[in-house]
Amino acid sequence: MSSQRRPELSEEEYLDIEEALASNARGRSFLRMRDQRARLVAVNEVRKLAREFKDGLQKAAADTGGDKRDEAHIRILREELREMSAYIHQTRREIAALRPADAGSNRIMAATGELDAIVSATERATSEILNGVERINDLALKLPKTGEVAPIADEIQAHVTEVLTACSFQDITGQRTTKVVNTLRYLEQRVNSMIEIWGVEGVTPAAAENADDRRPDAHLLNGPATDGGPSQADVDALFEQLGKATEKAPEKAPGGDKAEPHSNSQSQIDAMFNAAQ
């Protein structure tokens, strides 16, 4: 095939030739056949293109695993979404469990209160120790500075100094405890924020996993009262009162199942002991 390009016909030349052919029967037959062949070529071209497109689509589907693979992907996606939903639900339940049923049972608040109570108690105790040490020191200063007593006075003062410096622990523990209290308060704020964000209204709180004491008398073990609690006199009075109640109704132990939980004064407890002996 020649590489030379054939000269293009002008529109006028094309129409002249077509008119010349159409002027006789054989020429018209030629033109009809040409048109038919041209249509066939066009149809074949379209069919070929459609076939190629279909083949391309099938090849692409085969590369990705096809419909079955798509279904598997959707199934995994659904499963992942279900798991995410379950986790979110569990998280909401956990957060709901963090929220106290009432303000009085807020564990973080309670822990903060306990720590504050520790600081106050150690401060009081340290103050009393200091009172005693200062009195001892004053007495030591009154001792004669001569004779056999002098070295004893010096030794007392040396011990007083040791006790004084040892008492500085209260400052250190106080500062450390304050840090813990601040951390707890920060946690409380964050938890409250999470509760607000997640909207846990109506969500069933998750059950606590062994966070509680399982001893049978755990409900009685609350530790020292942070607000000072009943005085020794209160306990004595209640003990005495319970002792009288025991004498009157010996068949029923005091503080039985139906007894209201309350604190006993020492006198009340003493009376109970005396009655039992």
Contact residues toward other proteins (CB under 8 A) are 123, 126-127, 130, 133-134, 137, 157, 160-162, 164-165, 167-172, 174-175
Report in angstroms how near the CB of residue 165 gets to other proteins at its nearest.
5
3-state DSSP of the chain? CCCCCCCCCCHHHHHHHHHHHHCCHHHHHHHHHHHHHHHHHHHHHHHHHHHHHHHHHHHHHHHCCHHHHHHHHHHHHHHHHHHHHHHHHHHHHHHHHHCCCCHHHCHHHHHHHHHHHHHHHHHHHHHHHHHHHHHHHHHHHHCCCCCCHHHHHHHHHHHHHHHHHHCCHHHHHHHHHHHHHHHHHHHHHHHHHHHHHHCCCCCCCCCCCCCCCCCCCHHHCCCCCCCCCCCHHHHHHHHHHHHHHHHHCCCCCCCCCCCCCCCCEHHHHHHHHHHHC
Nearer to other proteins, 61 or 139 (CB): 139
Give the shortest CB-155-to-other proteins separation in angstroms: 13
Please return the burial class of 230, using the count of CB atoms within 10 Å of its CB with bins 0-12, 13-18 and 19+. middle
Q: Which is nearer to other proteins, 133 or 200 (CB)?
A: 133
CB of 83 to other proteins, least distance (A): 45
What amino acid is encoded at 242 in this protein?
L
Taking the least distance from each CB to other proteins, the nearer of 32 and 142 is 142
Rounded distance, CA 107 to CA 222, Å? Answer: 13
Nearer Cβ to other proteins, position 172 or 211?
172
Q: Which is nearer to other proteins, 183 or 263 (CB)?
A: 183
What's the min distance (Å) between Cβ of 179 and other proteins? 10
Integer Cα distance of 23 and 186 in angstroms: 103
Q: How far is the CB of 156 from other proteins (least distance, A)?
A: 12
Residue (126 or 268) nearer to other proteins, CB: 126
Of residues 17 and 166, the one with the C-beta less far from other proteins: 166
Give min distance, CB of 188 to other proteins, in A.
21
Output the smallest distance, CB 261 to other proteins, in A. Answer: 36
